[in-house]
Amino acid sequence: MSNSGGRGNVASAGNTGAPCEDGLVCRNCHLGGSFGLTTEEFKLIDPMSGLEVTSYQPGKLYNAEVKVNTTNGGASAYGFQATSLDTAHKDVGTWLNPSNAVQINTADIQCEGEPHSLRTYIEHVAAVPISRFRVDWQAPPCDEGEISFYFIGNAVNNNGSTSGDVGGTGSSRSYNSSIEEVITLDQPIATDTSIMASAYINLSSVISDDSDVILTASDSINILPQMEISAGSTLCIFHNTCLE
């Protein structure tokens, strides 16, 4: 059966190499091409900064990108599939706003000893002459621990058959959460002091009474001389504890 319209769409199946997919990947059928090795990349990008992230903030929307690579080049078209799972191999997060080359489908998956369940996949709409696929992914509203993205690419010669293609074997990438902790100050903070947090941050703007400042945290927060941090100010520090 041709899966040029997406493996999930056509066959209600997953081929990313994720758990409970029976070991099926694109290279099982798509072989013999001269494109060399097909590999795939996955990125989560903060749409506000345009920078790639290495952890997720619960409830936040990210740009997701899957890129299919071949060592020799020369492919006429590309396809892909991806899914996001928690440590129990269940769907986590929400796929949104697919580009014209991407569709969102579900597949019937059964893990050993468990009933059948639907798993959400993103995948190509058709074999297209682009190797970079984009969609949005919204993180779950609270800390779900480690989330793993499973993804695979396929490079094809577009001859309507699986011959002469080079399918990937699948890859994965995991992300842990960054959760906010609220710290309310009961007294003004003097300059040239620091507050312990979970990451290092320089505060460079004025914080007045009763204002909320959301920070991406580090080992300490440096209080700079130009700051005015008063009693009643609230600092939100991101770290790895779930805020319900």
Q: Which residue ranges make up each domain of the chain?
A: 7-176, 180-239
Closest CA to 195 of 209, 175, 215: 215
pTM attached to this predicted model: 0.73
Q: Specify the CATH number of the domain 7-176.
A: 2.60.40.680
Residue 93 has pLDDT above 90, yes or no: yes
- List Cβ neighbours of 149 (8 Å cut-off, separation of 6 or more): 42, 44, 64, 82, 83, 84, 172, 173, 174, 175
- The pLDDT tens digits for 12-71 are 668 899 999 877 787 777 777 888 899 999 999 999 889 999 999 888 899 999 999 999
Eight-state DSSP code of residue 35: S
What pLDDT is stored for residue 5 in this prediction? 59
Mean pLDDT of 178-192: 50
Closest CA to 141 of 179, 189, 197: 179
Under 8 Å between Cβ of 165 and 153: no
